[in-house]
Amino acid sequence: MDNTTKTAVFANGCFWCTEAVFSMLKGVTSVLPGYTGGKTENPNYHAIRDHAEAIEIKYDPSVISYDDLLSVFFNTHDPTTLNRQGNDVGTQYRSGIFYVDLEQKEKAEKLVEELNETKAYDKPVVTEVQPLIKFYPGEEYHREYYKNNKNQPYCQLVIAPKLAHLQERFGKLIK
């Protein structure tokens, strides 16, 4: 990682979906699925325990801002459902922003507060905002899952529509 690259870590449902979404953005140099937000050492897909499925994004802030990443984050999942995204249910599917510095913390907290104050959603935003303590990379077979499995029903029924929405809503940010 060079000095121009920054890191953002988000949990917003299935990491297959979120990796596919953020991989499409200009300025994003890598997206790694994994686990964070819990205390259990070395979680994995079958023993995620108290962690959330998350993605670690490396990005060039001269091309895409953290504010843009936050906007995509909040517009590509339901931040009002506790421990759930669509049919994926469990604490591993919770909505969370794991900040790496004070600036990210302040921006995330301010945006959550604004979304709730303006009633941007029908229900309150339940997205957690907490410091990134440790990110555990996911297993190799989860990486680039959508790219490698586009014909799988989950990819066609869940991920592809999410990417179409992204294209419509954030076309200017797409590679």
In a domain, 79, yes or no: yes
Give me the chain's average pLDDT, please: 94
DSSP β-ladder status, 88-89 and 84-85: antiparallel
Residue scoring higher pLDDT (47 or 29): 29
Q: Domain range holding 15?
A: 6-173
Q: What is the pLDDT of residues 85-119, one digit of tens each?
A: 888 888 999 999 999 999 999 999 999 999 999 99
Would you say residue 69 has pLDDT above 70? yes
User: What's the predicted TM-score (pTM) here?
Assistant: 0.94
Contact 35, 161 (CB under 8 A): no
CATH number, position 160: 3.30.1060.10
DSSP β-ladder status, 128-131 and 95-99: parallel
For the chain, the maximum distance between any two Cα atoms, rounded to a whole number of angstroms, is 41
Instruction: Give the active site residues.
Output: 14
Q: What per-residue confidence (pLDDT) applies to 71? A: 97
In a domain, 97, yes or no: yes
Would you say residue 1 has pLDDT above 80? no
- Bridge partners (DSSP) listed for residue 56: 9, 32
In a domain, 1, yes or no: no
Number of structural domains (the chain) is: 1
In a domain, 168, yes or no: yes
